[in-house]
């Protein structure tokens, strides 16, 4: 039996009015169709401004498509969706709340009982290697630890789909690799489905089952690449695979990196 489709974009298009040009419309994304199955991790790469984040915003129901439709678990997305959780580049932790209270935030909004909130939050704090820091405030933690707390908060609401927009881009290389490892293990153990935006080509390879390459604006999917190598739950080990270098080189070629200075991966 084929795994269930968790999130699907059906020929979506998104147009915005360009403020600096009055009523003129700008097409950010055009005719994009993507289906992400249960337990799958799919990365999106492409030039800056090609509509990667726009796709995630439509998946979360923060934007509605100008044309086409988005579905989560077979239901058409018509507004903010409680089955989807969003993790961004910035941790956005509330500075006046402790780490535990930050992790509990989504559960509190959903009016989950206090005892259950605390139990779930503490289990995730332990899983994300933050045990002992639950009473600390965000300013007392390193950038990597704050992103761990943001991941725990994202997982606390038990989302069907995780949407992740460059969550590790602000971290140093060593911390990034450690968090990639933690994320990959967590996604594998919990069977989570994720749509992941990154500008780091190797990151897209080591974390993903598939990579989608987008064109410059208006963004379209120009190539879909299966990452046919073992170790998606252990990205540090996957980095050593012989196919990583050639695949990264192929992605660079697709994005014209080093050939056209006007193109920037972001």
Tell me: cis bond preceding 218? Omega within 30 of 0 counts: yes
Q: Are residues 96 and 128 in the same domain?
A: yes
28-86: per-residue pLDDT in tens? 999 999 999 999 999 999 998 899 999 999 999 999 999 999 999 999 999 988 889 99
Beta bridge partners of 36: 7
Q: Are residues 117 and 223 in the same domain?
A: no
Q: Percent of the chain at pLDDT above 90?
A: 69
Please state, in angstroms and rounded to a whole number, the distance separating the CA atoms of residues 71 and 168.
27
Which of 158, 188, 205 delimits the end of a domain?
158
Q: Are residues 106 and 44 in the same domain?
A: no
Please state, in angstroms and rounded to a whole number, the distance separating the CA atoms of residues 227 and 208.
7
Q: Are residues 241 and 168 in the same domain?
A: yes
184-207: per-residue pLDDT in tens? 998 898 889 999 999 999 999 999
- Whole-structure pTM over 0.75, yes or no? yes
Please state, in angstroms and rounded to a whole number, the distance separating the CA atoms of residues 210 and 205.
8
**pLDDT grade, residue 258 (50/70/90)?**
low
Q: Are residues 100 and 20 in the same domain?
A: no
Q: Are residues 40 and 53 in the same domain?
A: yes
Please state, in angstroms and rounded to a whole number, the distance separating the CA atoms of residues 87 and 67.
26
Query: Are 152 and 73 within 8 A, CB to CB?
Result: no
Q: What is the per-residue DSSP string for 190-250? A: HT-EEEEE-S-HHHHHHH-SEEEEEPSSSB-EEEEEE--SS-TT-HHHHTTSTTHHHHHHH
Q: Are residues 73 and 181 in the same domain?
A: yes
Which of 134, 158, 182 delimits the end of a domain?
158
Q: Are residues 118 and 207 in the same domain?
A: no
CA atoms within 13 Å, Cβ hemisphere of 139 = 3
36-52: per-residue pLDDT in tens? 999 999 999 999 889 99
Q: Are residues 77 and 122 in the same domain?
A: no
Give me the domain span that covers residue 218: 1-83+161-266
Q: Are residues 256 and 165 in the same domain?
A: yes
Q: Are residues 102 and 115 in the same domain?
A: yes
Which of 111, 143, 158 delimits the end of a domain?
158
Query: Are 89 and 169 within 8 A, CB to CB?
Result: yes
Please state, in angstroms and rounded to a whole number, the distance separating the CA atoms of residues 147 and 87.
9
């Amino acid at each position: 039996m084929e795994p269930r489709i968790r999130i699907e974009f059906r020929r979506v298009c998104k147009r915005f009015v360009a403020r600096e040009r009055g009523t003129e419309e700008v097409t950010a994304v055009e005719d994009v169709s993507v289906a992400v199955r249960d337990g799958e991790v799919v990365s999106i790469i492409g030039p800056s401004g090609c509509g990667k984040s726009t796709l995630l915003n439509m998946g979360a129901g923060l934007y509605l498509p100008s044309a086409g439709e988005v579905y989560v678990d077979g239901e058409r997305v018509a507004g903010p969706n409680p089955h989807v959780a969003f993790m961004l580049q910035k941790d956005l932790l509330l500075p006046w709340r402790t780490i535990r209270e930050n992790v509990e935030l989504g559960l509190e909004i959903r009016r989950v009982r206090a005892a259950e909130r605390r139990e779930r939050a503490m289990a995730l704090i332990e899983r994300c290697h933050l045990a002992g820091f639950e009473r600390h405030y965000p300013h007392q933690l390193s950038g990597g630890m704050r992103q761990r707390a943001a991941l725990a908060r994202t997982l606390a609401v038990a989302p069907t789909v995780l949407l992740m927009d460059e969550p590790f881009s602000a971290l140093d290389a060593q911390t990034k690799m450690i968090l990639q490892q933690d994320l990959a293990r967590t996604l594998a153990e919990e069977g989570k489905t994720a749509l992941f935006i990154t500008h780091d080509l190797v990151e897209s390879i080591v974390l993903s089952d598939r990579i989608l390459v987008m064109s410059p604006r208006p963004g379209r999917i120009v190539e879909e690449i299966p990452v046919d190598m073992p170790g998606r739950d252990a990205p540090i080990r996957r980095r050593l695979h012989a196919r990583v270098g050639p695949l990264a080189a192929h992605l660079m070629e697709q994005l014209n990196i080093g050939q056209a200075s006007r193109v920037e991966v972001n």
